[in-house]
Amino acid sequence: MAAQELKHLISDAPRVMVADGSKLVRKLIADVLARELPGVQVVGCSSIAEARAALEAGPVDLVTTALSLPDGDGLELARSVREAAGQAYVPVIVVSGDAQQHLVERRFTEYVTDYFDKSLGHDALAEFIRGYVQPQPIVGATVLYVEDSRVVAEATKRMLERQQLKVIHVLTAEEAFALLTAESLGRIPDKIDLVLTDVTLKGELSGRDVVERIRIDFAYGKRRLPVLVMTGDGNQHNQSELLRAGANDLVQKPIEERLLVTKVLFQLRVSRLDGGRPN
């Protein structure tokens, strides 16, 4: 899905709700929205009560909410958005210092679209919000994609290549390790910026092995080389184990293009905020 196609998820005169007890966070998000979406109406809410009143006043195009609000749980607000009369299905994003812990423990509900951990910093938060409202391609970034189904791989490659990303597709974990080793020795021209792997692969090694070897054997941290894992396994324990092993995030199958693109571009931007890996 191209950037212009993603943008139409947000209306021409968007109304965006920002629910957070922190005035600083509300202002930061509002400033990003104002820069990226001319004419945006930002509805700042410091509590669930204020947010519900705002929903009664009219539908919104995007919602960000803290997990902890003065009068309750942000997940309850997410549910209120989904159940509000006349409200379309829009992105509901949790912005919290506890987001990563909630993710690992699989405590997010189906009412939440995505999440951001405040520990990543204000610059990363700005990039994250920008990725939703005005996604920009990262031209030339290289994704190493591990997928043993050629049919799935072809469809997913098209999603990523529409964002002007270069995709190197391999069928097995062993091929991925060979490429990463060659790159580390300067034997291939490409610098691998992100790894995307299916959790289930043919052969002895799985997507979890890909994650663990990148984190342990290659010693690449999450922001030096992001790793996203695609999984159709709804088991919360198995999902938590992938995250504990070092996956940056999970992409649920069947893959929804907008969410895949948002997650990939966000991880690339966060990596580049740190300068990425040395060449």
Within its chain, how far is the Cα of 148 from the centroid?
23
What is the pTM for the complete model shown? 0.69
- In the structure encoding, which two tokens stand for residue 162, read together? 């529409």
Give the pairing of strands 72-73 and 194-198.
unpaired
Identify the CATH assignment for 3-133 out of 3.30.70.980, 3.40.50.10700, 3.90.480.20, 3.40.50.2300. 3.40.50.2300
Express each pLDDT in 57-98 by its tens digit: 988 888 999 999 999 999 999 999 988 877 776 788 999 888
Q: How would CATH label the architecture of 142-273?
A: 3-Layer(aba) Sandwich (3.40)
Per-residue pLDDT of the chain (279 residues; tens, 9 = 90+): 333 333 444 445 678 999 999 998 899 889 888 887 778 899 999 999 999 999 999 888 889 999 999 999 999 999 999 888 777 767 889 998 888 788 777 787 878 878 888 888 877 887 787 777 777 788 889 999 999 999 999 999 999 999 999 999 999 999 999 999 999 999 999 899 999 999 999 889 999 999 999 999 999 998 899 999 999 887 778 888 898 899 988 888 888 888 898 889 888 887 876 554 443
CA distances from 185 to 168, 177, 179, 181 (A): 18, 12, 10, 6
Ordered by start, the domain boundaries in the chain are 3-133, 142-273
Shared fold status for 3-133 and 142-273:
yes
